[in-house]
Structure 1
Amino acid sequence: MSGLWIGVLLTAVGCYALKLAGLSVPSRVLDHPLTRRATDLIPAALLGALIGVQVLGGERELVIDARLAGLGVAAVLLLLRVPFLPMVVAAAATAALLRL
């Protein structure tokens, strides 16, 4: 068996064990207010991290280019409560025009 398949099998076993560990957490821990608050905030934190990596990420350095301007336009339009699709179009158009 190759090293790749050993890695795949170990990952599968690890994922199953992690899932099983999550199912064995007592309900008093899951119902705690701090746990609930943390689980409510995790998706927003992950989305923010993904946006930061995609907008500012380069090979090995931070890159400030048209993507950041597009994000800025999207943030302003979000504050102005513009619907999602026009906001995305405006942000993409801003980045495209700056790259032109």
Structure 2
Amino acid sequence: MKALQERLAVTLTVAFVAYALVLQTPPDAALLTTAVMLAAAFALGARYLAVGITAGELRVGARSRAHREVLSSIIEPQHPNTAGRPRTRAPARAEATA
């Protein structure tokens, strides 16, 4: 979705500048149009850069020790019967495995 919005913004910007240049406007108007478009692009770029820097990496339950798995990687098994994982209480009976 973000890529689609970026492409749409670039397409509309190019279309607007081309339309302004085709109208045979005075050179000052073309210069003003280009300056306004560059200022808008700089402002939007700075905004997205600031949001990207502060966003960081998405985590589940940042305060909880049991939920610090990063969503961008494969999570290891957390089942109580996984070998090497300490149990929180004694098991009722041993489970049959086949």
TM-score, normalised by the number of residues in structure 2? 0.24
Indicate the structure (1 or 2) with the bigger Cα radius of gyration: 2
Q: Which has the higher helix share?
A: 1
TM-score, normalised by the number of residues in structure 1? 0.24
